[in-house]
Structure formats: structure tokens, C-alpha cells
Chains A and B, each alone.
Chain A
């Protein structure tokens, strides 16, 4: 079991550019979560999906953020346009109903 796979591990981009973060959940898991971690705010839940359907996106900070899950094995988190305050580590996690969440190792995003 490869675990939750996120790509890229590191992303450096300039303000105004579009950024796409990718996540492959563990096979068979029906929940997928996107979290963001900063020093100031800690770990925050942005959005989560159940069976590829977004259930709660109340943590998405602005319309510049969007997330999709076109199938059970892939999800993207897009920021367009990016801003320096979006710099953070973004984590993806997956779980099977009622089971503990499994996290990927994150994407460290730096927006200059």
C-alpha cells in the first residue's frame, strides 16, 4: 500500500500564477480531505469529498480556491490566481467510512 500520494512535494510560483496540487488517495477509500497548514493558523480543513462528491467546502478561503475529484483515485486543489498569503503546506488525506484518516506528506507551496 503506497499510502496517500501528493504531487508535487514542493511548488514555487509567482503571484498571479495558477497552481494545481494533486492527490491520489488510498485505493478503496471513500472520503478525501484537503487541509492547509501554516504557522499562524495550524492545520485547517479546506474541503472534503465523499464518493467523489464535495460535502463541505466551508473551509475554502476564497473563490480563488477550487477542488475537484473527477474519480475515486484522483483529486486536485487549484488556486487561481495565487497570492503570497497562500504560501503553506497543503495536505491531502483519505479514509474509509468511520476509519482513521491517512495523510500524505504534503505539498509545500511558496508564492513569491
Chain B
């Protein structure tokens, strides 16, 4: 699976949009971009995933660049409960199956 690069930490004011970047310049054509988050003392939680089109669900939006070498996770109105470590993962669905390889992620801190 392709490797990803994320900033170590970010801060965001409550109520503002949180934009979390991820670089995955070695992504291949059949690999998806997945985002998970981990709130302290809990298991990782799935947020969203996409292949090449932008995606939106009730939690977040995912913007993938046209060349697919980077993406941005957007939390439109961040709250204190969104404070967590956010993991960007590139995952193929062949060969290794469903497994996810986690990097170090971005620690997002939402403040008043």
C-alpha cells in the first residue's frame, strides 16, 4: 500500500471548518484513500473514503486532487468532540485484502 504524509498536529477553533491535508504521491490507480480517527482511549473510527471523486457524508467531506496525489478531509463545523488523531490511509482491495496500515496521523485539537 502507498505511504501517506500528514502534519503531526493542527489546531482549529470550534465552529470553524477543519481542513486536514494528506499527501499520497505514490498512490496507484486501484488504491482508495481512507480516513479514520481515534478519539482518546477508543478504537479507530471510520470517517470516509474515496477513489477519485469527491465524497461527502454526515461526518465529513473528502476532496481528492485530480492527479490523486493528495487529499483533504474537511470537518465543516468542528466541535470539541472532534479532537482526535486523524489517520489518512491508502488501501488497495487486492492482494493484501482489507488490511489497513496506519501511519502516525494528525492530532487535531479543537479549541473554544
Q: How many pairs, one residue from A and one from B, have CB atoms within 8 Å of each other in the complex?
A: 50
Partner of B49, one of A45, A91, A100: A100
B104's contact among A42, A50, A99, by CB below 8 Å, is which? A42
Give the distance to chain A from B3, nearest Cβ to Cβ, in Å.
14
B44 interfacial by beta-carbon distance below 8 Å: yes
Residues in B with CB closer than 8 Å to A97 are 98
State A104–B45 Cα separation when bound (angstroms).
Answer: 9
Decide if the interface of chain A is mainly helix, strand, loop or mixed: strand
Contact call B44/A91, Cβ cutoff below 8 A = yes
B101 CB within 8 Å of chain A: yes
Please determine whether B98 and A45 come into contact, CB atoms closer than 8 angstroms: no
**Do B44 and A56 have beta carbons less than 8 Å apart?**
no
Name the residue on B nearest A31 (C-beta).
Answer: B98
Q: How far is the CA of A44 from the CA of B102 in the complex (A)?
A: 7
Q: What string of 1s and 0s marks CB contacts (under 8 Å) between A27-68 and chain B?
A: 000010101000000111100101000011000000000000
Q: A100 near B102 (CB under 8 angstroms)?
A: no
Complex Cα spacing A33 to B42, Å? 16
- Decide if A101 is an interface residue (CB 8 Å cutoff): yes
Q: Which of B34, B46, B98, B101 has the most CB of A within 10 A?
A: B98
Q: Is the CB of B100 within 8 A of A45?
A: yes
Interface residues of B in 7-57 (CB under 8 A from A): 34, 41-46, 49
Asked if A70 is an interface residue, CB under 8 A from chain B, the answer is no
Chain B contacts with A in 39-95, Cβ cutoff 8 A: 41-46, 49, 93
Q: Is the CB of B98 within 8 A of A43?
A: no
* Residues 62-100 of chain A, each 1 if its beta carbon lies under 8 Å from chain B, else 0: 000000000000000000000000000001010101111
Starting from the known contacts A31-B97, A33-B98, 13 additional A-B residue pairs (CB-CB under 8 Å) come to A35-B102, A42-B104, A43-B44, A44-B102, A91-B44, A100-B34, A100-B46, A100-B49, A101-B46, A101-B98, A103-B45, A105-B41, A106-B43
List 6 contacting pairs A-B, 8 Å CB cutoff, sorted by A. A35-B102, A42-B102, A48-B99, A50-B97, A93-B43, A105-B41
B-side residues, CB < 8 A to A, are: 34, 41-46, 49, 93, 96-104
